């Protein structure tokens, strides 16, 4: 596939490495000049581009940037992707630690719903709760013992199907976490966040989640 990645931090950069190693054609960006990504481009064979060009003709787009920076993205930044191509967003809202107050999220809007509203595009929430080193190193074949499960939330069945296949290819078990409106079940502070559960424990943790944000995850 052609995959565009907007954001080259811990998760975005890890996905550049993993997806190119699997043979996908990856274009990736950060918020600066593509020349600042020359080392990662050389390491992986992926193509560093300006953020506005990352989604060009992509079969899949991945957005992985600090939550506070989402409103600063160029309008229509994912619009050049192929028709119907899913947009995965990996973001988390860290009000005390990084992002400051985002009023709509504090008021109860799920983080990924807010991202979707800012983009004006549907999104799929995935990869937000796994440590980047485990994403890099702990993918194993289907059926392997202790395979980590990753929850995926979103509204479009076909988009989810493609995202499920990518997560399986990366070496993790995809778990349907429901609609985008239910994506709060995998936000920071929930029972599944930051855990390396298998499928059964992931399903259980999602069911046990509360929509109430804990004090650590409020502004």
Whole-model pTM above 0.95? yes
pLDDT in tens, 89-137: 999 999 999 999 999 999 999 999 999 999 999 999 999 999 999 999 9
pLDDT of residue 74: 95
Is the CB of residue 193 less than 8 Å from the CB of residue 201? Answer: no
Measured CA to CA, the distance from residue 218 to residue 141 in angstroms comes to: 38
pLDDT in tens, 187-216: 999 999 999 999 999 999 999 999 999 999
- Which residues, including other chains, have CB under 8 Å from residue 131's CB and lie 6 or more apart? 194
Please calculate the CA angle 170-175-180 and round it to the nearest 5 degrees.
110
Measured CA to CA, the distance from residue 110 to residue 24 in angstroms comes to: 31
């Amino acid at each position: 596939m052609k995959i565009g990645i907007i954001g080259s931090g811990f998760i975005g950069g890890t996905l550049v490495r993993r997806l190119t190693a699997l043979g996908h054609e990856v274009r990736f960006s950060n918020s600066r000049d593509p020349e600042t990504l020359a080392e990662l481009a050389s390491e992986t064979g992926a193509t560093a581009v300006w953020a506005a060009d990352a989604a060009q003709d992509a079969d899949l787009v991945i957005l992985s940037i600090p939550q506070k920076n989402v409103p600063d993205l160029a309008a229509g930044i994912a619009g050049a992707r192929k028709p119907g191509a899913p947009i995965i967003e990996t973001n988390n809202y860290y009000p005390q630690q990084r992002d400051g107050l985002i009023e709509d999220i504090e008021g109860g809007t799920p983080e990924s719903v807010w991202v979707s509203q800012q983009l004006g595009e549907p999104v799929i929430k995935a990869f937000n709760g796994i440590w980047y080193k485990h994403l890099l190193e702990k993918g194993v074949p289907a059926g392997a013992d202790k395979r980590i499960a990753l929850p995926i939330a979103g509204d479009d069945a076909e988009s989810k199907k493609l995202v499920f296949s990518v997560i399986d290819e990366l070496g993790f078990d995809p778990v349907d976490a429901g609609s985008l409106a239910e994506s709060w079940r995998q936000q920071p502070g929930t029972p599944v966040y930051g855990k390396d559960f298998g499928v059964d424990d992931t399903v259980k943790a999602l069911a046990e989640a509360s929509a109430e944000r804990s004090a650590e995850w409020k502004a």
